[in-house]
């Protein structure tokens, strides 16, 4: 490794820096990997994005990579206006629609630019024209709803409907306390926040003022529970968590909202839903072909596995492996979002050891050092959550395996047994 490369990787923040050792040097540590379907060692990949993908889909993609879909070209070199790619677009949309039961009233797009670009596209397409001067309602449920709100603030008035009074986002005030604007241009919420491990699976539709379009950033949990798409007007999700590779954002938009009537006058082309809708086969500029294609293979595979009911059952089983241990640990482990709140996430289990502060922080650091540095687990160290110290985060999107989470659970148990002095002191 050159000095220059070393200097760059050392500049990465601690929670993303990873380890210096090579994965193959850890082969002998049993809790450092799982064994995949073909006997290959698989890393304990707890990354929140790019997230782990199913080995079966990756192998299918590898087999079809050079001569994709019998086209004589690889997906990397396929013309975006070619018939083979248009066929892939159609199959990608059809499988995504089937998987999520998207109604005919809604359009599907694979926008370039990730979910972050849609943070701006939503206000740009919905707060202009006839909606000029209207505020947009934002339910504040964590770090990512702050990012979405901040983007909207650049374009118009934002009304924060509700916010955890503690400022930690470990809970959300009940819908009866929400301060909704009956004239809002739209209502926006984030269905799962990846930082504190909070998820909203039962949105209270009755709290929504009649006629206000409902928009959801479902990046972290789309496909893991039966979301009622018909009751939403806009649902968008970064593909790199639950579906495919990075660089695209899956968007489901009610057809009549893709219109010039509520668009802002100054509109970056990449945010303009109408321009993409009117382009041949909804392809306005060169899409991230590989992510559209991989998403297609993956959605088809998800349908074969049993669709949303299968992935919801898996999400429950997988997250309960850790929550059951945490809840029966007599205070040795603790989540921030409590079970009683009803907002505990199945996608990210975020926890600490004992109080996670003072002397106990040494235990958290020991846990992180052993799992990250000695066992090579990827992305286990979480952001400080505004608490001033790091915590532990285990990400388990749709394709996280039970085997991987079992390794995590077994390590947690071993760590607890070797440090337990009888619960909270
Ligand atoms: C809830 C949520 N929304 C949006 C994003 C941003 O997505 P992207 O990186 O595709 O812009 C993330 C993280 O990647 C996220 O966790």
Q: Which of 326, 310, 309, 307 is nearest to 367 (CA)?
A: 326
336 and 219 belong to one structural domain: no
CB-based contact 160:169 (threshold 8 Å): no
13-17, 157-161, 194-198, range with greatest mean pLDDT: 157-161
Q: CB-based burial of residue 398 (10 Å sphere; 0-12 exposed, 13-18 middle, 19+ buried)? A: buried
How many independent structural domains does the chain possess? Answer: 2
Q: Does residue 260 have a pLDDT over 70?
A: yes
Average confidence score pLDDT of the chain: 92
Percent of the chain with pLDDT over 70: 94
Question: Which strands, in side-by-side order, build the sheet including 348-353?
Answer: 333-335, 348-353, 392-395
Strand partners, 234: 215, 253
Does any domain span residue 32? yes
Does any domain span residue 424? no
State whether the beta carbon of 219 lies less than 6 angstroms from ligand 1.
yes
348 and 250 belong to one structural domain: no
Q: Does residue 401 have a pLDDT over 60?
A: yes
Query: Could you report the per-residue pLDDT of 262-320, keeping only the tens digit for each?
Result: 999 999 999 999 999 999 989 999 999 999 999 999 999 999 999 999 999 999 999 99
Percent of the chain with pLDDT over 90: 83
Query: Could you report the per-residue pLDDT of 59-75, keeping only the tens digit for each?
Result: 999 999 999 999 999 99
pLDDT at 11: 58
Q: Within a 13 Å sphere around the CA of 386, how many CA atoms are in the beta-carbon half?
A: 10
Q: Does residue 8 have a pLDDT over 70?
A: no
Given 237, 271, 304, the domain boundary residue is: 304
Q: Does residue 1 have a pLDDT over 50?
A: no
pTM for the predicted model, two decimal places: 0.95
State whether the beta carbon of 247 lies less than 6 angstroms from ligand 1.
no
Given 283, 304, 325, the domain boundary residue is: 304
Nearest-CA residue for atom 13 of ligand 1: 49
Q: Which of 376, 388, 416, 312 is nearest to 100 (CA)?
A: 312
pLDDT at 3: 39
Residues 6 or more apart in contact with residue 269 via CB below 8 angstroms = 275, 284, 285
Between 142 and 14, residue with greater pLDDT? 142
255 and 325 belong to one structural domain: no
| Residue appearing with tokens 């949303």 | 308
Does any domain span residue 73? yes
Q: State the distance from the centre of ligand 1 to the C-alpha of 162, rounded, in angstroms.
A: 21
Which structure tokens are listed for 406?
A: 């079992």
121 and 150 belong to one structural domain: yes
How many other β-carbons are positioned within 10 Å of the β-carbon of residue 196? 27
Does any domain span residue 266? yes
pLDDT at 27: 77
pLDDT at 16: 52
131 and 162 belong to one structural domain: yes
47 and 103 belong to one structural domain: no
Which structure tokens are listed for 129?
A: 């024209």
d(CA 235, CA 251): 6
Does any domain span residue 38? yes
d(CA 38, CA 395): 24
Q: Does residue 105 have a pLDDT over 50?
A: yes
| Domain around 36 | 3-54+307-419
Length of the chain measured in residues: 425
Q: Does residue 363 have a pLDDT over 60?
A: yes
Q: State the distance from the centre of ligand 1 to the C-alpha of 116, rounded, in angstroms.
A: 6
173 and 260 belong to one structural domain: yes
Given 304, 336, 352, the domain boundary residue is: 304
Q: CB-based burial of residue 22 (10 Å sphere; 0-12 exposed, 13-18 middle, 19+ buried)? A: exposed
State whether the beta carbon of 190 lies less than 6 angstroms from ligand 1.
yes
285 and 328 belong to one structural domain: no
pLDDT at 166: 86
Mean pLDDT of 96-124: 97
| Residue appearing with tokens 């790019």 | 50
Q: Which of 49, 111, 235 to mutate to test the pocket of ligand 1 (most atoms within 8 A of CB)?
A: 49
**216 phi and psi angles, rounded to 5 deg:** -135, 130
Confidence of residue 425 (pLDDT cuts 50, 70, 90): very low
CATH number at residue 163: 3.40.640.10
Q: Which of 120, 238, 271, 393 to mutate to test the pocket of ligand 1 (most atoms within 8 A of CB)?
A: 238
CATH number at residue 37: 3.90.1150.10
CB-based contact 408:322 (threshold 8 Å): yes
50 and 80 belong to one structural domain: no
Q: State the distance from the centre of ligand 1 to the C-alpha of 248, rounded, in angstroms.
A: 11
280 and 167 belong to one structural domain: yes
Which structure tokens are listed for 175?
A: 């819908």
pLDDT at 2: 39
Return the ligand 1 atom nearest residue 119 CA. 4
d(CA 115, CA 194): 14
State whether the beta carbon of 142 lies less than 6 angstroms from ligand 1.
no
29 and 162 belong to one structural domain: no
412 and 335 belong to one structural domain: yes
Q: Does residue 7 have a pLDDT over 70?
A: no
Q: Does residue 18 have a pLDDT over 70?
A: no
Return the ligand 1 atom nearest residue 239 CA. 10
Q: State the distance from the centre of ligand 1 to the C-alpha of 16, rounded, in angstroms.
A: 16
Q: Which of 204, 202, 239 is nearest to 219 (CA)?
A: 239
Nearest-CA residue for atom 4 of ligand 1: 115
- In angstroms and rounded to an integer, the radius of gyration of the C-alpha atoms of the chain is 22
Does any domain span residue 425? no
Confidence of residue 37 (pLDDT cuts 50, 70, 90): confident
Q: State the distance from the centre of ligand 1 to the C-alpha of 192, rounded, in angstroms.
A: 10
State whether the beta carbon of 159 lies less than 6 angstroms from ligand 1.
no
pLDDT at 384: 66
Does any domain span residue 365? yes
| Residue appearing with tokens 């687990």 | 377
Query: Could you report the per-residue pLDDT of 148-171, keeping only the tens digit for each?
Result: 999 999 999 999 999 988 888 999
Is the peptide bond preceding residue 192 cis, with omega within 30 degrees of 0? Answer: no
pLDDT at 9: 55
Mean pLDDT of 222-236: 98
pLDDT at 423: 46
Mean pLDDT of 387-392: 84
Q: Does residue 421 have a pLDDT over 80?
A: no
Confidence of residue 6 (pLDDT cuts 50, 70, 90): very low
Nearest-CA residue for atom 7 of ligand 1: 115
């Amino acid at each position: 490794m050159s000095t220059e490369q070393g200097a760059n990787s050392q500049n990465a923040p601690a929670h993303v820096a990873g380890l210096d050792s090579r994965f193959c040097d850890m082969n002998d540590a049993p809790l450092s990997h799982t064994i995949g379907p073909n006997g290959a060692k698989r890393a304990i990949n707890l990354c929140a994005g790019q997230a782990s993908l199913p080995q079966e889909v990756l192998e299918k993609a590898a087999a079809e990579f050079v001569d994709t879909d019998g086209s004589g070209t690889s997906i990397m070199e396929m013309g975006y206006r070619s018939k083979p790619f248009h066929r892939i677009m159609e199959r990608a949309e059809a499988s995504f629609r089937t998987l999520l039961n998207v109604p005919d009233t809604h359009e599907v797009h694979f926008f370039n630019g990730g979910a972050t670009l849609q943070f701006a596209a939503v206000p740009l397409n919905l707060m202009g024209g006839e909606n000029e001067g209207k505020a947009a309602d934002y339910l504040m449920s964590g770090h990512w709803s702050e990012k979405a709100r901040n983007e909207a603030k650049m374009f118009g008035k934002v009304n924060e409907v509700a916010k955890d009074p503690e400022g930690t986002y470990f809970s959300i005030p009940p819908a009866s306390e929400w301060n909704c604007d009956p004239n809002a241009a739209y209502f926006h919420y984030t269905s799962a926040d990846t930082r504190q491990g909070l998820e909203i699976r039962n949105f209270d539709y009755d709290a929504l003022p009649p006629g206000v379009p409902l928009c959801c950033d479902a990046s972290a949990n789309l496909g893991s529970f039966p979301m009622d798409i018909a009751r939403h007007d806009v649902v968008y999700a970064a593909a790199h968590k639950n579906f495919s590779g990075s660089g695209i954002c899956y968007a489901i938009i009610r057809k009549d909202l893709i219109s010039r009537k509520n668009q802002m006058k100054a509109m970056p082309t990449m945010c303009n839903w109408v321009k993409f809708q009117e382009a041949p086969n909804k392809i306005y500029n060169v899409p991230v072909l590989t992510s559209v294609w991989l998403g297609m293979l993956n959605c088809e595979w998800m349908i074969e596995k049993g669709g949303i009911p299968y992935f919801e059952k898996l999400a429950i089983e997988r997250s309960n492996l850790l929550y059951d241990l945490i809840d029966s640990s007599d205070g040795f482990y603790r989540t921030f979002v409590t079970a009683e709140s009803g907002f505990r996430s199945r996608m990210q289990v975020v926890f600490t050891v004992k109080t996670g502060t003072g002397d106990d922080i040494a235990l958290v650091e020991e846990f992180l050092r052993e799992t990250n540095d000695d066992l090579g687990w990827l992305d286990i160290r979480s952001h400080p959550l505004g608490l001033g110290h790091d915590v532990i985060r285990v990400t388990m999107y749709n394709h996280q395996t039970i085997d991987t989470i079992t390794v995590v659970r077994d390590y947690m148990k071993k760590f607890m047994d070797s440090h337990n002095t009888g619960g909270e002191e």
